[in-house]
Amino acid sequence: MGPVDMLVGGSAAAQAARPVPTEQQQQVQGLKLAQERSCLRCHDPVRHYVGPSFKDIGKRYRNDPAADERLTGKIQHGSVGQWGRVIMPRQPQVSPVEAALLARWVLSH
């Protein structure tokens, strides 16, 4: 069970009883979380800013089956050298659940 599963209730029965958010709802929730956690200070949905655009990140990891977990870790712990000399600082204000949700949202671009 991953961090997102723990957020939404844990048991399979509890998860099955909840309505699944639509794609549009997921996009709105992802954008809101990105705004609240200051992701947009360095990233833009479509253009390179300080860091890569969400579109470029999604494109790079599109065929990576471990992309959700990989990006979740990068959001929480940071990374260096993945996009040139830009440093992605660790984000301690982002919980593991939020990092997983943000990773899924970024990958949807």
What CATH number does the domain containing 69 carry? Answer: 1.10.760.10
pLDDT band at 6 (very low <50, low <70, confident <90, very high): very low
The pLDDT of residue 18 is: 67
C-alpha–C-alpha distance, residues 37 and 107, integer Å: 17
The mean pLDDT value for 13-17 works out to 56
8 pairs with which residues across the strands? Answer: none
Task: Identify whether 5 is part of a domain.
Answer: no
pLDDT, tens digit, 9 for 90 and up, residues 66-109: 999 999 999 999 999 989 888 999 999 999 999 999 999 999 98
The pLDDT of residue 20 is: 76
Q: Are the C-beta atoms of 76 and 36 separated by less than 8 Å?
A: no
Q: Are the C-beta atoms of 81 and 20 separated by less than 8 Å?
A: no
The structural domain count of the chain equals: 1
**Sign of the C-alpha dihedral computed for residues 27, 31, 32 and 33 taken in this order:** positive
Task: Identify whether 13 is part of a domain.
Answer: no
Task: Identify whether 4 is part of a domain.
Answer: no
